[in-house]
Chain A
Amino acid sequence: MLGLLETGSGFWSAIIWILLVLVIGGMVIYLRNKGEDSYKKNTEQDKPFISGNPEESKESSHLSASHIYWGFTEALKGYYDPLVKMHTGHINDYSGWIIVLTVIILIVIGVSG
């Protein structure tokens, strides 16, 4: 069959996957349409509720890029600090790491015989 990729232990076919997604998606949409019918548009119901405070202006509510994974980077501070420090931008380091890695590879090749 077209689009059937053998992976050695099984197979993958994007077309079957899409058909499955369509079927399941259809079922989900069907279920959703059967749901709550007291919801009405353009009433109080679809306005955001921020504990009774007025909604902020849209410009200031946009989260900028450097804050998105703040918690993640803060939690992994011990990993990130030395890593960022390693990227010094010195040209000497650039060439130095090449020599370091060449030496390591040469030693591994030499030891392994």
Chain B
Amino acid sequence: MIGNFPYFAVILLIGCGIYILMFQKNLIKLAIGINLIENGINLFLITLGYRKGAIAPIYTQAPSGQAMVLPTPQALTLTSIVIGVATSALILSMAMMIYKHYGTIEVNEVRRLRG
């Protein structure tokens, strides 16, 4: 019934993010787009690690005799979440500094460097 539906959720989130990055014209919106791609890829990794009818990979007071989901993607996702918040923080502080110097956060006007 569920089929490959989670993967489609992943690519829809990535698609939303890339759409924002390609067509929307506000610096903070761009940060939101990157955040969405990030979330999509996190979901992708966790989905890869899921195993039907398995439990979380923690031995403390676990029900016995059941398979566990794959733990590696969870470790990778933890890394990628922290990297994601770091990226957002840096991008947003740069957007604030751009506003300080330029007085705008519209993409059309933030282009003194060209040619």
Number of interface residues of B (CB under 8 A): 16
Report Cα–Cα, A91/B21, bound state, in Å: 8
Contact yes or no, A90 B107, CB < 8 A: yes
Q: Which secondary structure characterizes the binding site on chain A? A: helix
- CB of A67 closer than 8 Å to a CB of B: no
Choice from B18, B111, B112 contacting A90 with Cβ under 8 Å: B111
Q: CA–CA, A2 to B103, complex, Å? A: 62
Instruction: For A92, give its contact among B23, B112, B113, B115 (CB under 8 Å).
Output: B23
**Residue of B18, B110, B112, B115 most packed against chain A (CB within 10 A):** B115
Q: Contact residue range for chain A?
A: 10 to 19
**Are A92's CB and B18's CB within 8 A?**
no
Residues of A near any B CB (own CB < 8 A): 84, 87-92, 95-96, 99
Q: List 6 A-B contacts (CB under 8 A).
A: A88-B111, A88-B114, A89-B114, A91-B30, A92-B23, A92-B107
